[in-house]
Amino acid sequence: MVRYLEGQLGTRDSPITPILAQTQKLVSSIDGQATGMAWEIWSTENGRTLVMHPGGTGGFSAFFAFDRAAKHGVVLLSDTALTEVGGLRRLGMHLLDGSLPAGTPRTVATADVKLIDALVGRYRLPFGLGVELRRKGNKLTIQADGQPEFEMEYDSAGEFFPLEFDAVLRPRRKAGTYTFTWFQLGGIFPAERLGAAAPVAVRPALTEAQLKEVEGHYSFSQTLGLRVYASGLKLMVQGTGQAPQEAAPYSKDVFVTEPIGAEIAFERDASGTVIALMLSQRGQDLRGERH
């Protein structure tokens, strides 16, 4: 893999080295994601171009990335399946560009019983499988139709996981209740709640003036940030190199962007002025200061 990386960087003399360079050229850009031939292409705020490809299969994960102009690359190989928790991407990008956050390890935590109670209910996954979530003591259990019931643990990233097999259940806030997204075997499956649920919150109707209070650019690092702006009665968020997404209000200072599974919580000082935000996505929390 290191020899292959040298070929992609153009530092290894080979008859196919010029052809490898051709695979890195832009082929398409969909929803702000630029791609080459099997490559993701990312442009950073400081003008760097990072080319990468993450991957994984049963029991293994990999990440391959490089900056051709800087002649700098990274190869990460793991004997653990990490697909359901974002893989090796964040660590690999940090090794490639030290200004990007490396993230933090997950640790076992205790779930709030109010969260468990809010999740309890009957659901259907996109491929038609029925799923039941129940509370047993202070634990959440899951049982798919025709399968055994499994107890779920909880981690510091705010997600549930079974010990018996590789999967992740990520709670998702909805208007007045919760649902979840199921991650397994590289698939991402948003669950549809069947029947009524006990409401846990009331979605507020914010004015345009309230939305403008949080407008600004929030920086996570020198190369990674989030633009927040009001568009009428909608709040829009746009990450570096990504397409804008609507963020729906869950409370005055908490917004949810369902298509990308992100939650944004704004932080205010003693005077009530917004000074920062916390972005929670795929088990990672990033704090960005407002500029």
Q: Which of 284, 242, 243 is nearest to 263 (CA)?
A: 284
Strands (E), 163-233: 167-174, 177-184, 187-190, 192-194, 216-219, 225-231
Give residue limits of the domains in the chain. Answer: 2-96, 108-194, 208-290
Which pTM value belongs to this model?
0.60
- Same fold for the pair 108-194 and 208-290: yes
pLDDT bracket for residue 236 (50, 70, 90) = very high
Residues 100/93, Cβ–Cβ less than 8 Å = yes
pLDDT by residue (tens digit) across 8-48?
Answer: 999 988 899 999 999 999 898 776 678 899 899 988 767 78
Kindly report the backbone phi and psi dihedral angles of residue 63, in degrees, each rounded to the nearest multiple of 5, phi listed first: -150, 135
Fold classification of 108-194 is Lipocalin (2.40.128)
Instruction: Work out the average pLDDT over 158-170.
Output: 91
> How far is CA 143 from its chain centroid?
25
Instruction: Work out the average pLDDT over 171-195.
Output: 82
**What one-character DSSP code corresponds to residue 271?**
T
Q: Note the pLDDT of residue 275.
A: 93
Of the listed ranges 82-91, 138-147, 157-166, 204-213, the one predicted with least confidence:
82-91
Q: Note the pLDDT of residue 229.
A: 95
pLDDT by residue (tens digit) across 37-60?
Answer: 989 998 876 778 899 999 888 788
pLDDT reading at 199 higher than 60: no
User: Is residue 119 classed as helix, strand or coil in its secondary structure?
Assistant: helix
String of b and e for 113-149 (b: at least 16 CB within 10 Å)? eeebebbebebebeeeeebebbeeeebbbbeeeeeee
Instruction: Work out the average pLDDT over 255-282.
Output: 84
pLDDT reading at 153 higher than 80: yes
**The listed CATH number (3.90.950.20, 2.40.128.50, 3.30.300.30, 3.40.50.360) that belongs to domain 208-290:** 2.40.128.50
> How far is CA 229 from its chain centroid?
21
pLDDT reading at 284 higher than 70: no
Token readout for 258 is: 């369902």
Residues 119/178, Cβ–Cβ less than 8 Å = yes
pLDDT reading at 66 higher than 60: yes
State percent of the chain over pLDDT 70.
Answer: 92
Q: How far apart are CA 25 and CA 96, in angstroms?
A: 20
pLDDT reading at 135 higher than 60: yes
**What one-character DSSP code corresponds to residue 196?**
-
Token readout for 165 is: 């097999």
pLDDT reading at 151 higher than 90: yes
Of 275 and 286, more confident = 275
Q: How far apart are CA 114 and CA 4, in angstroms?
A: 50
